[in-house]
Structure 1
Amino acid sequence: MLNGIYDYLTMRGYMGQLYELLRQDDYSKIVIAALDALTKTKVFVELVKVTKNDQRSTEFRIKGNEAYLNSNYRDAFRWYNNAILCATENSRALKLGYSNRSALLYTIKAYKACINDIDTCFNIGPSDHLLAERLTQRKNNCQRRQWIADFQVLMERDTFGGTFFNFNVERNPQIPCASLDVDIVKETDKLKAVAVRNIGVGILVALEKAYACQLDEENQYMACEYCHKFYFNLIPCDKCCEVMFCSEICKQRCNREFHNDECQIMHFMNGIGSGCRLAVRATIKMRNMCSSWSEFIEASKNIGAKRMKESSVNEIYDVNNKLSMLCFDNELHFRYGRLCNASFMTAMAIHFLLRLPSFFPEKQVERVEAIQAFAQVMVNLGVHYTKINIQNTTKYFNTEKVTREMVCNIGWFSFTGKLKHSCDANLLVLGLNNKIALIAIRPIKKGDELTISYVGHYYDYLHPRPFSLFWHNIQCDCRVCTEKWSTLQFRDQTLSTEEQSAMSSIIDSHNPQTDEILFKNICDCMIILQNAPATKEHHQLYHGFRKMISFYQNLYTDNYSIL
């Protein structure tokens, strides 16, 4: 989309001025110039706003029925959710959407979720006799089968794995998401997170909620827009036809933080990438957290490394601090291309937000300052703040298989997003819906800097490595990159006698073990093999470690999906 706009503006002589402005530190000037150019050349396309419509809902429900009859249950679930999203309030179309989804849930034996949808149907209003009879019979069948599943869930959650991510430890008062194992020190004018004491493999050191996060479009009709929980009983936004929630609580929180404003420009939001959507909602959230436009405008004047030098550890790293996202290292390579793209996307967002009657201030002077502040914050976040991939686990209800989702959501985190990158990081990032956990994947010595890989562990690469590094603006020539460590190319290294003995104790053990003992044994073995990374044996250990952790992740999140 942007390439065509650039060509159009270049032919009309606007891009030269914009390129000159790219060299300035005040990004708002670039955005204002881009907005002016787009307005004068009438590049903006009038986008059609999709509203609730029962006929459209019926069309989606019919597509869901076709997928259901072909046993394509995942697609059927998506279509039924679309039908629910598009139906008008308390309409027959809405009731039929929930009814058909309940039939799907009954088929895959998700009995509790099926009952929830049936109850929703009855709460909407009176049903015709045949529909009511069918729903009542389905509910009775579910209730006879549900107690077994409930008992199994209770048993699983009362285990070591079920409580693994509860993180009931004493926290660092300056960084509430982190344990007392973590501290911040200054080195050559730079802040870094370090280990206060030796940390063993498998130790959880932080559990952080995202400041802002964004579902991948693949997960849009599968998970809650706010908390990112994969859930069978999603409910629709009251106004738009694009987002769903797992509960009224999440709906209210999402609306309060950003969606009340975002909802009115969803016709624009759907046409941009997930990274741009993330920048829009993070900036709206920050503005809403401020007590006034004046506070937001003042905050926008001090962004990046300069703000970090003047701020406390808590102001920099605590996600509950509304301005923590304005603290970041803005020394960036390859800045201009990214800056130009971010400036035009911000200009487009402002164009649509200006159409909202009460978003920006009414008084002209304050209105201009507010637009400049919004532009400055959104562009800086989009250009400089590093996105974290959030890879969740889900249990496929129709197979009982727990697996890591191949498609990652993204988020911005006040603490984790400022950690140093290492391709052979000592911390592993684990997705817990709209949170992430940081767990030691290598033994960490007292004083060592804490590191994560922004592109994932080298055994878990989801994309070609050079592309992933470039996307995160990372230049790297470490041995992981140069030697191309991966599951496709193991290092040729002979294990020592101690390492071989440790591996044998894991692989050849036939004694029944609890998951707690097995997990501890794997972690101890990974410590012994810490000097044999990227070997076939080390990968075997990592695979076992990840398999157990994935199961624990799912016990914590209770995510369910359909294969």
Structure 2
Amino acid sequence: MQSLANLASNIIDREAFASCTNDFSRISYLLSCSEFVSLLQKSLLDEQTTYLKCSKTSTEYREKGNEAYASHNNNLALTFYNQAIRYAPSYSRELSLAYGNRSATLFNLKYYYLASQDVHRGLNLLSLNEEDDKRRERLEQRLQQCLKNKSEEIQTNDNENNRVENELEQLKSNQTFNVNYPSLTTYADIHTSLDRGRHVVSANISSLLKPGTIILIEQAYASVLLPSAWLTHCHTCLRRLHLILFSCSQCTRAVYCSLDCLQQSIVWHAFECRLTIDRLDKMQLLALRLITKTGWQYLYKNKLEFENYLKQNSTEYQIENHKQKIYEWNNYENILKLETNSHKRTIDDLFQRSIQACIIGLSLINNTSFSRDAYEKIDYQIYICSLILSHLQSLPCNAHEISEFIYHRLSPLSSSCIEIGAGIYATLSLFNHSCNPNVIRNFIGKTVIVRLLSSISSNNIELLDNYGCLSATMDKNERQKKLDEQYHFECQCQPCIEQWPNYDQLPEGTGEKNITSKKFDEAFKRLIDGERPSINDLNIFEEFIAQCDEQMQENKNVKGKVYNNAQEAYKQCLNFFYHSIHIED
């Protein structure tokens, strides 16, 4: 896309482009230039040929699975049969054979319910001939054996991710949520000011709110996986695949953990399936996903209102609208009206993003069936590309990294959260930044949970997230540079104003008033020694932070190393119990 921008610079009048004052006028100007549109047509996301179904590849994987099966290596056989299913063309003999063979492996592993489901899938694809009649007989016999052995079934919900999912449902049921901002609990609310914009504050506090108090539980409006996770995680719920996979019927790129997730994805994947989306970075793909997931019918219905917004693009317009109705996580309008920082961007930045928006938008219009109206009408093309341009500006400032906690059994101290994707969250995006945050995020699939990281003693205290720049681990100049480049603001948090030191220069102990706890010391030593933490350890860290906060309420100065250690230990424990987790040896 950079090379196209260089070529376009020779065609487009930059002064005329610079005079455009909003996203709609920028796209209108570009698409009114016939020479630019002709150049653009050569750079559209064409039909992908890398992730196509292939009978030969499916057969090769199935034969490898057969070898592993014959050697009684059922887990390896299952891996190969999954890939055979992924590559098998729809309604093909290869797909029927792969389902049948996978059912045999699942039967050996005592996953009888899953085996019976694969038997049914294999049976549904059989033809009426002598060879398939024999296979039908074998599959029906296996189905009877599955029913007979049902009482010996190994449960599939004993893996870590399902445990965490159950914890999530329990957490939700224990919360009372804000009426106007349903993703927030009643301990938080949204305020608006000229200097802070919309921001999250504490509310309804009758006594000290301790670390661990849940502030927000929210699903992503839209999310994408990084290419490195395309084949290991579900493209809908972003959970790691366990035991079996389901594949898109047309491509091998999108895999799912269940038929339900596969069916949910059809709304957006049907349009992305054949495009070369691997040419897009994660923010460009997320901008495309926002449009495909929302759908043309909704965008068409709200065209007049959204176009008016794209033409005005004013902060006052955003604030006024958000005061009028309940702020739902799944309302596209709330995503569209997140801050873009358009007025702070350079002309070159806006020019680059406008070209990207045109490529993505026209690829969707010309090479898929997303909108027949837009295929024929230039004003609809301008509308769709303008929406994408707005998202290309707002997403780098508002989207969040989605991670998975990788626990290494043999080297526990190297365990850490690894980015697997990105998501855009309507309410989470309203948290402002601090280099010393008082909240912490955890992800279960594409659902985010925000908890207090330190105690809150009264109402209307701003609850602050961290945008990847902690005062303990990064120098002030480096933090300020990163925040300005990506988020377009100069941080004025307490650590930046008072120039708090990095961790190595922090005072020993907990701070000016040194607080000690034998239980904390023992739990922290166990964690440092590589022991897997228990819920009791998590509670110890939580209580120790609360104890420090309570005894040092009047002390707003920088805390010491031990306090910092307690917060980091608490974060690590939360990763074990309330974060998507994958365990490796």
Q: Which TM class, normalised by the smaller chain length?
A: 0.7 to 0.9
Aligned to 1:30: 26
Q: How has the CA–CA distance of structure 1 residues 562 and 96 changed in structure 2, closer, same or farther, with 3 Å as cutoff?
A: farther
Selected match of 2:570 from 513, 536, 545: 545
User: Which moves more between the two structures, 295-304 or 93-102?
Assistant: 93-102
The answer to whether the 8 A contact 2:5-2:355 is kept is no
Shift of 1:294: 4.4
Instruction: Specify every segment of 5 or more residues in structure 2 that has no aligned partner in the other structure, as ranges.
Output: 127-131, 527-532
Letter aligned with residue 85 of structure 1: R
Are 1:407 and 2:413 counterparts? no
1:229-268 equivalences under 5 Å are: 229-232=239-242, 233-256=244-267, 258-263=268-273, 266-268=274-276
Give CA deviations for 1:95-125 in whole Å, capped at 9, x if unaligned. 5655777799899x79579747854764554
Aligned to 1:85: 86
Please give the alpha-carbon distance, in whole angstroms, between the structure 1 residues aligned to 2:120 and 2:318.
49
1:251-330 equivalences under 5 Å are: 251-256=262-267, 258-263=268-273, 266-288=274-296, 290=298, 293-303=300-310, 304=313, 305-313=315-323, 315=325, 317-330=327-340
Please give the alpha-carbon distance, in whole angstroms, between the structure 1 residues aligned to 2:59 and 2:411.
30
Shift of 1:217: 1.1
The answer to whether the 8 A contact 2:164-2:577 is kept is no
The answer to whether the 8 A contact 2:54-2:89 is kept is yes
Aligned to 1:528: 547
Please give the alpha-carbon distance, in whole angstroms, between the structure 2 residues aligned to 1:142 and 1:335.
67
Give CA deviations for 1:130-162 in whole Å, capped at 9, x if unaligned. 996998999899979754876798997899x67
The answer to whether the 8 A contact 1:194-1:450 is kept is yes
Please give the alpha-carbon distance, in whole angstroms, between the structure 2 residues aligned to 1:340 and 1:209.
32
Please give the alpha-carbon distance, in whole angstroms, between the structure 2 residues aligned to 1:562 and 1:100.
27
Aligned to 2:451: 439
Please give the alpha-carbon distance, in whole angstroms, between the structure 1 residues aligned to 2:138 and 2:584.
25
The answer to whether the 8 A contact 1:167-1:204 is kept is no
- TM-score scaled by length of structure 1: 0.78
State the secondary structure of the residue aligned to 1:389: strand
Please give the alpha-carbon distance, in whole angstroms, between the structure 2 residues aligned to 1:308 and 1:273.
28
Q: How has the CA–CA distance of structure 1 residues 404 and 207 changed in structure 2, closer, same or farther, with 3 Å as cutoff?
A: farther
Are 1:426 and 2:426 counterparts? no
Shift of 1:553: 2.1
Shift of 1:417: 0.9
State the secondary structure of the residue aligned to 1:284: helix
User: Which moves more between the two structures, 97-106 or 404-413?
Assistant: 97-106
Please give the alpha-carbon distance, in whole angstroms, between the structure 2 residues aligned to 1:546 and 1:33.
49
Shift of 1:467: 8.1
Q: How many residues get paired?
A: 541
Please give the alpha-carbon distance, in whole angstroms, between the structure 2 residues aligned to 1:342 and 1:74.
46
Are 1:388 and 2:400 counterparts? yes
The answer to whether the 8 A contact 2:45-2:360 is kept is no
Please give the alpha-carbon distance, in whole angstroms, between the structure 2 residues aligned to 1:520 and 1:7.
57
Are 1:183 and 2:205 counterparts? no
Please give the alpha-carbon distance, in whole angstroms, between the structure 2 residues aligned to 1:497 and 1:141.
68
Q: How has the CA–CA distance of structure 1 residues 369 and 169 changed in structure 2, closer, same or farther, with 3 Å as cutoff?
A: same
Letter aligned with residue 445 of structure 2: N
State the secondary structure of the residue aligned to 2:451: strand
Give CA deviations for 1:481-531 in whole Å, capped at 9, x if unaligned. 766746xx46233446974423x23223799xx955543332121133457
Q: How has the CA–CA distance of structure 1 residues 407 and 64 changed in structure 2, closer, same or farther, with 3 Å as cutoff?
A: farther
Aligned to 1:454: 467
Selected match of 2:360 from 326, 349, 353: 349
Shift of 1:411: 0.7
Sequence identity percentage: 17
User: Which moves more between the two structures, 121-130 or 493-502?
Assistant: 121-130
Aligned to 1:40: 38
Please give the alpha-carbon distance, in whole angstroms, between the structure 1 residues aligned to 2:25 and 2:165.
57
Shift of 1:415: 0.6
Instruction: Specify every segment of 5 or more residues in structure 1 that has no aligned partner in the other structure, as ranges.
Output: none
- TM-score scaled by length of structure 2: 0.76
The answer to whether the 8 A contact 2:187-2:202 is kept is yes
Letter aligned with residue 450 of structure 1: L
Q: How has the CA–CA distance of structure 1 residues 169 and 358 changed in structure 2, closer, same or farther, with 3 Å as cutoff?
A: same
Q: How has the CA–CA distance of structure 1 residues 314 and 30 changed in structure 2, closer, same or farther, with 3 Å as cutoff?
A: same
Root-mean-square deviation over aligned CA pairs: 4.8
Shift of 1:373: 1.5
1:84-123 equivalences under 5 Å are: 84-95=85-96, 97=98, 115=115, 119=119, 122-123=122-123
Shift of 1:356: 4.6
State the secondary structure of the residue aligned to 2:309: coil
Please give the alpha-carbon distance, in whole angstroms, between the structure 2 residues aligned to 1:64 and 1:204.
46
Q: How has the CA–CA distance of structure 1 residues 472 and 104 changed in structure 2, closer, same or farther, with 3 Å as cutoff?
A: farther
State the secondary structure of the residue aligned to 1:302: helix
User: Which moves more between the two structures, 145-154 or 452-461?
Assistant: 145-154
Give CA deviations for 1:378-418 in whole Å, capped at 9, x if unaligned. 11111124111112336789999996541231111111112
Letter aligned with residue 165 of structure 1: L
Please give the alpha-carbon distance, in whole angstroms, between the structure 2 residues aligned to 1:65 and 1:403.
35
Give CA deviations for 1:355-379 in whole Å, capped at 9, x if unaligned. 2574335489x82222121122111
State the secondary structure of the residue aligned to 1:437: strand
The answer to whether the 8 A contact 1:391-1:407 is kept is yes
Letter aligned with residue 331 of structure 2: N
Letter aligned with residue 185 of structure 2: S
